[in-house]
Copies of this chain bind each other. A is one copy, B any other.
Protein backbone atom coordinates (compact mmCIF):
# COMPACT_ATOMS: atom_id res chain seq x y z
CA UNK A 1 0.00 0.00 0.00
CA UNK A 2 2.76 2.37 1.01
CA UNK A 3 4.86 2.31 -2.12
CA UNK A 4 1.96 2.83 -4.51
CA UNK A 5 0.56 5.77 -2.60
CA UNK A 6 3.98 7.32 -2.11
CA UNK A 7 4.18 8.25 -5.75
CA UNK A 8 0.95 10.19 -5.78
CA UNK A 9 1.83 12.00 -2.58
CA UNK A 10 5.47 12.67 -3.31
CA UNK A 11 5.00 16.42 -3.47
CA UNK A 12 3.44 16.76 -0.02
CA UNK A 13 4.97 14.50 2.63
CA UNK A 14 2.66 13.21 5.31
CA UNK A 15 3.37 14.34 8.84
CA UNK A 16 2.85 11.95 11.76
CA UNK A 17 2.53 13.13 15.35
CA UNK A 18 4.39 10.84 17.76
CA UNK A 19 4.07 10.78 21.56
CA UNK A 20 7.61 9.88 22.66
CA UNK A 21 6.64 9.23 26.28
CA UNK A 22 4.39 6.84 28.19
CA UNK A 23 5.62 3.56 26.70
CA UNK A 24 6.92 0.95 29.16
CA UNK A 25 10.40 1.11 27.61
CA UNK A 26 10.83 4.87 27.48
CA UNK A 27 11.52 7.36 24.66
CA UNK A 28 14.73 5.67 23.40
CA UNK A 29 12.60 2.73 22.19
CA UNK A 30 10.06 5.02 20.56
CA UNK A 31 12.77 6.89 18.68
CA UNK A 32 14.44 3.60 17.71
CA UNK A 33 11.11 2.42 16.28
CA UNK A 34 10.68 5.70 14.46
CA UNK A 35 14.15 5.28 12.95
CA UNK A 36 13.25 1.76 11.79
CA UNK A 37 10.17 3.06 10.02
CA UNK A 38 11.99 6.11 8.65
CA UNK A 39 14.56 3.82 7.03
CA UNK A 40 11.77 1.95 5.17
CA UNK A 41 9.85 5.08 4.29
CA UNK A 42 11.85 8.05 3.01
CA UNK A 43 8.87 10.41 2.67
CA UNK A 44 7.18 10.79 6.03
CA UNK A 45 7.99 13.58 8.47
CA UNK A 46 7.40 13.53 12.19
CA UNK A 47 6.49 15.79 15.07
CA UNK A 48 7.88 14.25 18.24
CA UNK A 49 6.44 15.22 21.63
CA UNK A 50 8.31 15.04 24.96
CA UNK A 51 11.16 16.67 26.92
CA UNK A 52 13.10 18.53 24.23
CA UNK A 53 16.64 18.09 25.56
CA UNK A 54 16.28 14.32 25.99
CA UNK A 55 14.59 13.87 22.62
CA UNK A 56 17.18 15.96 20.77
CA UNK A 57 19.96 13.63 21.90
CA UNK A 58 17.98 10.56 20.85
CA UNK A 59 17.01 12.03 17.48
CA UNK A 60 20.60 13.12 16.74
CA UNK A 61 21.90 9.68 17.60
CA UNK A 62 19.55 8.19 15.00
CA UNK A 63 20.33 10.95 12.49
CA UNK A 64 16.67 11.84 12.18
CA UNK A 65 17.23 15.58 12.70
CA UNK A 66 16.02 16.63 9.26
CA UNK A 67 12.76 14.73 9.39
CA UNK A 68 11.78 15.30 13.02
CA UNK A 69 10.42 18.44 14.60
CA UNK A 70 10.46 18.32 18.41
CA UNK A 71 7.68 19.81 20.53
CA UNK A 72 8.79 20.29 24.10
CA UNK A 73 6.36 18.76 26.61
CA UNK A 74 7.64 18.05 30.09
CA UNK A 75 4.64 16.18 31.54
CA UNK A 76 4.23 12.43 31.14
CA UNK A 77 0.99 10.46 31.43
CA UNK A 78 1.83 7.32 33.40
CA UNK A 79 0.06 3.96 33.06
CA UNK A 80 -1.53 4.48 36.47
CA UNK A 81 -2.90 7.99 35.97
CA UNK A 82 -6.67 8.22 36.06
CA UNK A 83 -8.00 9.42 32.69
CA UNK A 84 -10.19 12.05 34.35
CA UNK A 85 -7.26 13.66 36.14
CA UNK A 86 -5.16 13.65 32.96
CA UNK A 87 -8.03 15.46 31.29
CA UNK A 88 -8.06 18.12 34.01
CA UNK A 89 -4.35 18.69 34.50
CA UNK A 90 -2.54 17.08 31.57
CA UNK A 91 -2.13 20.14 29.32
CA UNK A 92 1.67 19.96 29.60
CA UNK A 93 1.94 16.26 28.73
CA UNK A 94 3.42 14.78 25.58
CA UNK A 95 0.16 12.90 24.97
CA UNK A 96 -1.90 16.09 24.98
CA UNK A 97 0.62 17.80 22.74
CA UNK A 98 0.65 14.85 20.29
CA UNK A 99 -3.14 15.01 19.91
CA UNK A 100 -3.12 18.78 19.48
CA UNK A 101 -0.86 18.49 16.44
CA UNK A 102 -3.65 16.50 14.77
CA UNK A 103 -6.31 18.86 16.11
CA UNK A 104 -4.45 21.84 14.67
CA UNK A 105 -3.99 20.20 11.29
CA UNK A 106 -0.19 20.04 11.62
CA UNK A 107 -0.17 16.22 11.46
CA UNK A 108 -2.38 13.66 9.75
CA UNK A 109 -2.44 11.09 12.54
CA UNK A 110 -1.19 10.63 16.12
CA UNK A 111 0.62 7.61 17.59
CA UNK A 112 1.04 6.91 21.32
CA UNK A 113 2.22 3.95 23.44
CA UNK A 114 0.69 5.47 26.57
CA UNK A 115 -2.20 4.80 28.95
CA UNK A 116 -5.16 3.66 26.79
CA UNK A 117 -7.92 5.11 28.95
CA UNK A 118 -6.27 8.51 29.14
CA UNK A 119 -5.48 8.52 25.42
CA UNK A 120 -9.10 7.68 24.57
CA UNK A 121 -10.56 10.33 26.86
CA UNK A 122 -8.08 13.00 25.72
CA UNK A 123 -8.73 12.06 22.08
CA UNK A 124 -12.46 12.56 22.59
CA UNK A 125 -11.92 15.90 24.30
CA UNK A 126 -9.26 17.29 21.96
CA UNK A 127 -10.41 15.82 18.61
CA UNK A 128 -14.13 15.48 19.38
CA UNK A 129 -16.40 12.71 18.18
CA UNK A 130 -17.55 12.49 14.57
CA UNK A 131 -21.12 13.73 14.11
CA UNK A 132 -23.35 10.65 14.38
CA UNK A 133 -20.97 8.71 16.63
CA UNK A 134 -21.93 8.42 20.28
CA UNK A 135 -19.25 5.99 21.39
CA UNK A 136 -15.90 5.85 19.58
CA UNK A 137 -14.25 2.43 19.39
CA UNK A 138 -10.82 0.86 19.37
CA UNK A 139 -10.28 -1.56 16.48
CA UNK A 140 -7.50 -4.15 16.31
CA UNK A 141 -6.26 -6.55 13.65
CA UNK A 142 -6.40 -10.20 14.75
CA UNK A 143 -4.61 -13.13 13.05
CA UNK A 144 -7.19 -15.21 11.19
CA UNK A 145 -7.79 -18.00 8.68
CA UNK A 146 -8.89 -15.48 6.06
CA UNK A 147 -6.71 -14.90 2.95
CA UNK A 148 -5.83 -11.40 4.15
CA UNK A 149 -4.35 -12.98 7.29
CA UNK A 150 -6.17 -10.71 9.72
CA UNK A 151 -9.66 -9.84 10.86
CA UNK A 152 -10.78 -6.52 12.33
CA UNK A 153 -12.36 -6.59 15.79
CA UNK A 154 -13.98 -3.63 17.51
CA UNK A 155 -14.60 -2.30 20.15
CA UNK A 156 -11.78 -3.78 22.25
CA UNK A 157 -12.07 -1.37 25.12
CA UNK A 158 -12.89 2.26 24.35
CA UNK A 159 -16.17 1.93 26.27
CA UNK A 160 -17.52 -0.88 28.45
CA UNK A 161 -21.01 -0.45 27.07
CA UNK A 162 -22.60 -0.31 23.61
CA UNK A 163 -26.25 -0.08 22.62
CA UNK A 164 -27.72 -1.20 19.30
CA UNK A 165 -26.99 2.15 17.60
CA UNK A 166 -23.38 2.04 18.79
CA UNK A 167 -23.00 -1.49 17.43
CA UNK A 168 -24.36 -0.32 14.08
CA UNK A 169 -21.73 2.45 13.99
CA UNK A 170 -19.05 -0.10 14.89
CA UNK A 171 -20.20 -2.18 11.90
CA UNK A 172 -19.89 0.84 9.59
CA UNK A 173 -16.53 1.89 11.01
CA UNK A 174 -15.14 -1.65 11.06
CA UNK A 175 -16.20 -2.23 7.45
CA UNK A 176 -14.56 1.04 6.46
CA UNK A 177 -11.35 0.06 8.28
CA UNK A 178 -11.32 -3.38 6.62
CA UNK A 179 -11.85 -1.75 3.22
CA UNK A 180 -8.99 0.73 3.66
CA UNK A 181 -6.66 -1.18 5.97
CA UNK A 182 -7.04 -4.71 4.58
CA UNK A 183 -8.04 -3.82 0.98
CA UNK A 184 -11.31 -5.76 1.08
CA UNK A 185 -13.87 -4.22 -1.33
CA UNK A 186 -16.91 -5.81 0.39
CA UNK A 187 -16.00 -6.83 3.94
CA UNK A 188 -18.14 -9.45 5.70
CA UNK A 189 -19.29 -8.21 9.09
CA UNK A 190 -20.35 -10.46 11.99
CA UNK A 191 -21.97 -9.52 15.30
CA UNK A 192 -20.42 -11.36 18.27
CA UNK A 193 -22.88 -13.43 20.30
CA UNK A 194 -23.14 -16.70 22.24
CA UNK A 195 -24.79 -18.55 19.35
CA UNK A 196 -25.58 -18.01 15.71
CA UNK A 197 -29.34 -18.48 15.92
CA UNK A 198 -31.24 -15.22 15.58
CA UNK A 199 -33.22 -15.70 18.81
CA UNK A 200 -30.09 -15.88 20.99
CA UNK A 201 -28.41 -13.24 23.09
CA UNK A 202 -29.17 -9.95 24.77
CA UNK A 203 -31.90 -7.60 23.63
CA UNK A 204 -29.53 -4.95 22.25
CA UNK A 205 -27.89 -7.61 20.09
CA UNK A 206 -31.17 -8.63 18.49
CA UNK A 207 -31.93 -4.98 17.83
CA UNK A 208 -28.44 -4.36 16.43
CA UNK A 209 -28.92 -7.42 14.19
CA UNK A 210 -31.92 -5.71 12.59
CA UNK A 211 -30.23 -2.31 12.27
CA UNK A 212 -27.09 -3.74 10.67
CA UNK A 213 -29.08 -5.97 8.31
CA UNK A 214 -30.93 -2.89 7.06
CA UNK A 215 -27.72 -0.89 6.46
CA UNK A 216 -25.43 -3.50 4.93
CA UNK A 217 -26.26 -3.15 1.22
CA UNK A 218 -26.27 0.62 1.16
CA UNK A 219 -22.90 0.72 2.93
CA UNK A 220 -21.05 -1.79 0.82
CA UNK A 221 -20.56 -4.61 3.29
CA UNK A 222 -22.09 -8.05 3.75
CA UNK A 223 -23.68 -8.86 7.10
CA UNK A 224 -23.24 -12.54 8.02
CA UNK A 225 -25.31 -12.22 11.22
CA UNK A 226 -24.29 -13.50 14.62
CA UNK A 227 -20.86 -15.07 15.00
CA UNK A 228 -19.21 -16.76 17.98
CA UNK A 229 -15.88 -16.44 19.80
CA UNK A 230 -14.28 -19.03 17.52
CA UNK A 231 -15.04 -16.88 14.48
CA UNK A 232 -12.77 -14.05 15.66
CA UNK A 233 -9.81 -15.97 14.26
CA UNK A 234 -11.92 -17.82 11.67
CA UNK A 235 -12.99 -17.23 8.09
CA UNK A 236 -16.75 -16.66 8.43
CA UNK A 237 -16.31 -12.89 8.47
CA UNK A 238 -13.66 -10.17 8.22
CA UNK A 239 -15.00 -7.75 10.83
CA UNK A 240 -16.19 -8.73 14.31
CA UNK A 241 -18.46 -6.22 16.03
CA UNK A 242 -18.91 -6.27 19.82
CA UNK A 243 -19.06 -4.00 22.87
CA UNK A 244 -15.80 -2.87 24.47
CA UNK A 245 -16.19 -5.03 27.55
CA UNK A 246 -16.59 -8.28 25.64
CA UNK A 247 -14.07 -7.26 22.99
CA UNK A 248 -11.41 -6.40 25.54
CA UNK A 249 -11.83 -9.71 27.33
CA UNK A 250 -11.83 -11.65 24.05
CA UNK A 251 -8.65 -9.85 22.91
CA UNK A 252 -6.79 -10.56 26.14
CA UNK A 253 -8.07 -14.14 26.32
CA UNK A 254 -6.78 -14.78 22.82
CA UNK A 255 -3.42 -13.17 23.58
CA UNK A 256 -3.18 -15.16 26.82
CA UNK A 257 -3.98 -18.43 25.07
CA UNK A 258 -1.40 -17.76 22.36
CA UNK A 259 1.21 -16.92 24.97
CA UNK A 260 0.44 -20.07 26.99
CA UNK A 261 0.77 -22.27 23.91
CA UNK A 262 4.03 -20.52 23.07
CA UNK A 263 5.36 -21.38 26.52
CA UNK A 264 4.16 -25.00 26.28
CA UNK A 265 5.80 -25.25 22.86
CA UNK A 266 9.14 -24.01 24.22
CA UNK A 267 8.90 -26.39 27.17
CA UNK A 268 8.02 -29.30 24.90
CA UNK A 269 11.13 -28.66 22.82
CA UNK A 270 13.35 -28.19 25.89
CA UNK A 271 12.23 -31.46 27.49
CA UNK A 272 15.10 -33.75 26.52
CA UNK A 273 18.43 -33.55 24.63
CA UNK A 274 16.77 -35.19 21.64
CA UNK A 275 13.91 -32.73 21.59
CA UNK A 276 16.43 -29.89 21.79
CA UNK A 277 18.09 -31.26 18.64
CA UNK A 278 14.68 -31.47 17.00
CA UNK A 279 14.05 -27.87 18.03
CA UNK A 280 17.24 -26.76 16.30
CA UNK A 281 16.16 -28.48 13.10
CA UNK A 282 12.69 -27.00 13.46
CA UNK A 283 13.93 -23.48 13.97
CA UNK A 284 12.89 -22.29 10.51
CA UNK A 285 9.43 -23.80 10.89
CA UNK A 286 8.98 -22.31 14.34
CA UNK A 287 10.12 -18.92 13.09
CA UNK A 288 7.60 -19.22 10.28
CA UNK A 289 4.91 -19.84 12.89
CA UNK A 290 6.17 -16.99 15.06
CA UNK A 291 6.02 -14.59 12.12
CA UNK A 292 2.36 -15.40 11.55
CA UNK A 293 1.24 -14.83 15.10
CA UNK A 294 3.76 -12.19 16.17
CA UNK A 295 1.64 -9.39 17.63
CA UNK A 296 4.38 -6.88 16.75
CA UNK A 297 3.69 -7.39 13.05
CA UNK A 298 0.37 -5.57 13.28
CA UNK A 299 0.79 -3.52 16.40
CA UNK A 300 -1.75 -0.86 17.08
CA UNK A 301 -5.31 -0.33 18.06
CA UNK A 302 -6.94 2.35 15.93
CA UNK A 303 -9.37 4.80 17.54
CA UNK A 304 -12.38 5.14 15.26
CA UNK A 305 -15.16 7.70 15.38
CA UNK A 306 -13.13 10.83 16.02
CA UNK A 307 -12.21 13.87 13.95
CA UNK A 308 -8.73 12.54 13.33
CA UNK A 309 -7.01 9.17 13.47
CA UNK A 310 -5.17 8.00 16.59
CA UNK A 311 -3.12 4.80 16.74
CA UNK A 312 -2.52 3.26 20.16
CA UNK A 313 0.59 1.10 20.19
CA UNK A 314 1.02 -1.62 22.82
CA UNK A 315 2.62 -0.08 25.91
CA UNK A 316 5.27 -2.80 26.04
CA UNK A 317 6.11 -2.49 22.32
CA UNK A 318 9.79 -2.73 21.37
CA UNK A 319 11.30 -0.84 18.43
CA UNK A 320 9.85 -3.33 15.91
CA UNK A 321 6.42 -2.92 17.47
CA UNK A 322 6.65 0.88 17.47
CA UNK A 323 7.71 0.85 13.81
CA UNK A 324 4.68 -1.32 12.96
CA UNK A 325 2.33 1.10 14.76
CA UNK A 326 3.86 4.08 12.94
CA UNK A 327 3.54 2.24 9.63
CA UNK A 328 -0.12 1.46 10.31
CA UNK A 329 -0.71 5.13 11.09
CA UNK A 330 1.08 6.14 7.91
CA UNK A 331 -0.87 3.69 5.75
CA UNK A 332 -4.20 4.85 7.15
CA UNK A 333 -3.30 8.49 6.64
CA UNK A 334 -2.15 7.78 3.08
CA UNK A 335 -5.42 6.09 2.19
CA UNK A 336 -7.38 9.11 3.34
CA UNK A 337 -9.15 6.75 5.70
CA UNK A 338 -10.24 9.41 8.19
CA UNK A 339 -12.16 11.44 5.61
CA UNK A 340 -13.70 8.35 4.05
CA UNK A 341 -14.89 7.09 7.40
CA UNK A 342 -16.43 10.46 8.27
CA UNK A 343 -18.25 10.53 4.91
CA UNK A 344 -19.51 7.00 5.48
CA UNK A 345 -20.91 7.77 8.93
CA UNK A 346 -22.54 10.97 7.70
CA UNK A 347 -24.14 9.14 4.79
CA UNK A 348 -25.43 6.37 7.08
CA UNK A 349 -26.86 8.94 9.48
CA UNK A 350 -28.77 10.49 6.57
CA UNK A 351 -29.91 7.09 5.39
CA UNK A 352 -31.26 6.25 8.82
CA UNK A 353 -33.57 9.22 8.43
CA UNK A 354 -35.03 7.83 5.22
CA UNK A 355 -34.94 4.15 6.09
CA UNK A 356 -36.38 2.39 3.05
CA UNK A 357 -34.87 4.54 0.32
CA UNK A 358 -31.79 3.42 -1.55
CA UNK A 359 -30.34 6.88 -1.77
CA UNK A 360 -26.84 6.50 -0.29
CA UNK A 361 -24.58 4.90 -2.84
CA UNK A 362 -21.93 2.45 -1.76
CA UNK A 363 -19.60 3.43 -4.57
CA UNK A 364 -17.77 6.69 -4.78
CA UNK A 365 -17.54 8.39 -8.18
CA UNK A 366 -14.03 7.10 -8.72
CA UNK A 367 -15.32 3.56 -8.25
CA UNK A 368 -13.71 2.97 -4.87
CA UNK A 369 -15.53 2.30 -1.66
CA UNK A 370 -14.98 4.50 1.35
Chain A residues close to B by CB (< 8 Å): 82, 117, 143-145, 157, 160-161, 192, 194-195, 199, 201-202, 228-234, 242, 244-246, 248-261, 263-265, 268-269, 271-272, 274-275, 277-279, 281-282, 284-286, 288-289, 292-293
Contact = CB atoms under 8 A, between A and B. Distances in A.
Nearest to A282: B278
A192 to B, nearest CB: 6
Nearest to A260: B233
Contacts of A281: 277-278, 281-282
B202 A245 contact: yes
Contacts of A201: 160, 245
A194 B282 contact: no
A230 B250 contact: no
Contact of A285 (B232, B255, B263, B278): B278
B233 A257 contact: yes
State the oligomeric state as a number of copies.
2
Most buried by B among A157, A194, A258, A284: A194
Given A145-B263, A160-B202, A202-B160, A268 B253 contact: no
Nearest to A270: B285
A370 B253 CA distance: 30
Given A160-B202, A255-B230, A245 B194 contact: yes
Nearest to A142: B257
A268 B256 contact: no
A203 B295 CA distance: 32
Contacts of A258: 257, 261
Contacts of A145: 260, 263
Contacts of A245: 194, 201-202, 246
Contacts of A255: 229-230
Given A248-B194, A268-B288, A269-B285, A293 B261 contact: yes
Contact of A265 (B233, B263, B289): B289
B230 A259 contact: yes
Given A194-B244, A249-B228, A268 B254 contact: no
A245 B226 CA distance: 13
A271 B249 contact: no
A99 B201 CA distance: 26
In the A-B complex, list the 3 residue pairs whose CB atoms are closest, starting with the nearest: A229-B252, A230-B256, A229-B253
A81 B144 CA distance: 31
Nearest to A245: B194
Contact of A282 (B144, B248, B256, B282): B282
Given A202-B245, A230-B253, A231-B256, 15 more contacts: A145-B260, A160-B194, A160-B201, A228-B249, A229-B251, A230-B256, A232-B257, A233-B256, A233-B257, A233-B259, A233-B260, A253-B257, A257-B258, A268-B292, A278-B285
B286 A268 contact: yes
12 contacts: A82-B199, A202-B245, A228-B252, A229-B249, A229-B253, A231-B256, A233-B257, A242-B249, A250-B253, A261-B261, A264-B293, A271-B284
Most buried by B among A248, A257, A281: A257
A116 to B, nearest CB: 9
Contacts of A232: 253, 256-257
Contacts of A282: 269, 275, 278-279, 281-282
